[in-house]
Structure 1
């Protein structure tokens, strides 16, 4: 079991991922923007973070930069999820472990997350 932080302002996607990962035996924390995610991650360091790119308050690229600047969180795998092409995300300067294009295959995302979880 691992703690997974899911960051997405689309409630339906966040709840779907929560349900799937809980069914897979993980604990899930939810945030609707990067600022909330950073606060949660600083309180309880997750094993992996899955984040949307486009969100209000603090987007996924800004979250990636904030995580990289925080020594306790810099090594946590970050999966960037977006309907935008990967090149757009890279152009924003976001550093991430893996990229998943929306809409995604839920089974492939679970397999990817499980393979990246820091044990």
Structure 2
């Protein structure tokens, strides 16, 4: 099953995504900030990353830039999640596959994960 890396400093959101995506058959790894996520991604390349934008230690924009700079991780699709409008996010980073506004509908997130993984030859 494809590995999905969930990155969010809000435990409840990370746990919800982990539980729901595992129920859908995905392998899920959770990180609470971009630094942890980058370490996980370097150790085992994920098929997809779902990341919050605002986090301590390393935010979503810094994670996106670090992954883009790494040849092994540069083509991994990244979904940015935030309560801020996409225009604000787009001012700070680019290259993400999809933006999801928080709070999101969990069934919409399942569809996004499925579509992104299908488009890259995953599940």
Q: Same fold (TM over 0.5)?
A: yes
1:62 touches 1:94 (CA, 8 Å); kept in 2? no
- Counterpart contact for 1:61–1:95, Cα < 8 Å: no
Structure 1: tracts of 5 or more residues without a match: none
Correspondences of 1:10-25 after superposition (within 5 Å): 10-25=10-25
Name the CA distance, whole Å, in 1 between partners of 2:75 and 2:41: 12
**Root mean square deviation, CA, Å:** 0.7
TM, length-normalised to structure 2: 0.94
> Is 2:111 aligned against 1:111?
yes
Query: Would you say 1:93 and 2:88 are equivalent positions?
Result: no
- In 2, distance between residues paired with 1:71 and 1:64? 13
User: Quick check: 56-65 or 86-95, which moved more?
Assistant: 86-95
Unpaired runs of 5+ in structure 2?
none
Provide the residue aligned with 1:26 in structure 2: 26
- Tell me the equivalent position of 1:79: 79
Tell me how far apart the structure 2 counterparts of residues 93 and 81 of structure 1 sit (CA, whole Å). Answer: 13
For residues 92 and 30 of structure 1, the distance between their equivalents in structure 2, rounded to whole angstroms, comes to 24
How many residue pairs align between the two structures? 119
4+ residue stretches of structure 1 with deviation over 3 A? none
